[in-house]
Amino acid sequence: MVNNNLYVALIHFPVMNKKDQPIGSALTTIDLHDIARASITFGVKGFFVITPYEDQARLATQVIDHWTKGVGGKLNPFRKKALELIRVTKTFEDALKEVEKEREEPVITIATSAKKISGSITTEDLRQKLENQASHVLIFGTAWGLAKELIDRCDYILDPIKGSTEYNHLSVRSAASIYLDRIINSR
């Protein structure tokens, strides 16, 4: 099933630190590779990397260019195809404007969190919502998760991923893969 209306966004600002304070986080290049690969595997339309920091945006662009325009793309065309999904924007609002312009339809935003938040929905509920005509942006936070101010602006919040223990601090790239699998495949 290809979801031509599903996008992914990786937020580097505003996110939280371990003291529950809003911060901006540094880019991790492996997140770009792994989330892009998961995105293309599950038929995601586009993957936004959001950072207001010019040096971090430049780093992301260098990585993307190496794999899409440089020698990396020639050596590994599969990686090239995945990294072609990535777009770098300064703000979440800029990403939403790009989706609205591209799709010419409403955009529904879905936050993720490792913490249970009142009113959150299951991946099964979200899968049903993906069947409508609106575009959907699934939002992931770096560091210790999305800032409350961003979560509060979203249309939906997904239930957290639960394992078989109390430990619950997955890497964002692992969480993205798990959520995409659960949303796209009936589980």
Taking all residues of the chain, what is their mean pLDDT, rounded to a whole number? 94
Summarize pLDDT for 54-106 with one digit per residue, the tens: 999 999 999 999 999 999 999 999 999 999 999 999 999 999 999 999 998 88
The per-residue pLDDT for 94 is: 98
Structural domain total, the chain: 1
What is the pTM (predicted TM-score) of this model?
A: 0.95
Residue 125 lies in a domain: yes
Query: What are residue 170's phi and psi, to 5 degrees?
Result: -75, 155
Residue 117 lies in a domain: yes
Residue 124 lies in a domain: yes
Give yes or no for residue 1 having a pLDDT over 50. no
Kindly report the CATH number assigned to the domain that includes residue 158. Answer: 3.40.1280.10
Compute how many other C-beta atoms are within 10 angstroms of the C-beta atom of residue 126: 20
Residue 59 lies in a domain: no
Supply the range of the domain harboring residue 138: 6-52+84-184
